[in-house]
Homo-oligomer: A and B are copies of this chain.
Amino acid sequence: MTTVLIADDQPLQRFGFRMLLESQDDLTVLGEAANGSEALRMTAELHPDVVLMDIRMPGMDGIEATRRIVATGDRTRVLILTTFDLDEYAYAGLRAGASGFLVKDAQPEELLSGIRSVASGDAVVAPSLTRRLLDAYVQHLPAGGGTADVPLPGDARLSALTEREREILTVVGKGWTNTEIAARLHLAESTVKTHVGRILAKTGSRDRIQAVILAYDTKLVEPS
């Protein structure tokens, strides 16, 4: 038995999906969510095998919800439904960790088999989207065209940082721990934490690892 959560802001759409899914012996609809945060909450609560996720929803959208659901490490798989054939968000969904995406005007059988594939750990992509996906894939693989490397010492992402914060980010980029930073810069560890916390917030990094990467990417720290 495969359990499914439906996340879509349109009630009528949800109804249609529910009817279709309930007509199958091996599928059960655990519930319906009208936006991303509901989907997130209900997923944490109900642990469905598959979340049928619409992208465009008020509040938290389907991409962010997907990212967070995947981040939980749960077995729950996310199958994204896009309205349009070409939906650039579909790629974002992919990067967010979705196990597949289908277009809403797909045949019912496609949707059902897609759900079953995803539930069993496979991934699915709508044929009409697969083409673009493959194109993007082969482009990115051997894409020798190195593009401009524009060093950008003053990267936009760093502009919000104060002088002190940039100093801290530099040593974070060198791999120093909070304790080491505190000792070598004669600060309290709590101060270091405050600084690092603000750096993460301002640069949109989720942890110091991302900050290290940012430091390298912006050439604030050079490879040795």
Contact = CB atoms under 8 A, between A and B. Distances in A.
Given A138-B95, A180-B70, A210 B131 contact: no
Nearest to A189: B73
Interface string A133-149: 11011101111111111
Contacts of A143: 140, 145-146
A164 interface: no
A223 B213 CA distance: 8
A24 interface: no
Contact of A223 (B70, B210, B217): B217
B130 A122 contact: yes
A196 interface: no
Interface string A90-106: 00001101011000000
Contacts of A142: 95, 146, 149
Interface residues on A, range: 35 or more
Interface string A201-221: 000000111101100110100
A128 B134 contact: no
A34 to B, nearest CB: 26
Nearest to A132: B123
B140 A146 contact: yes
Nearest to A142: B146
Interface string A168-212: 000001110101101110100100000000000000000111101
Contact of A121 (B95, B131, B149): B131
A148 B136 CA distance: 17
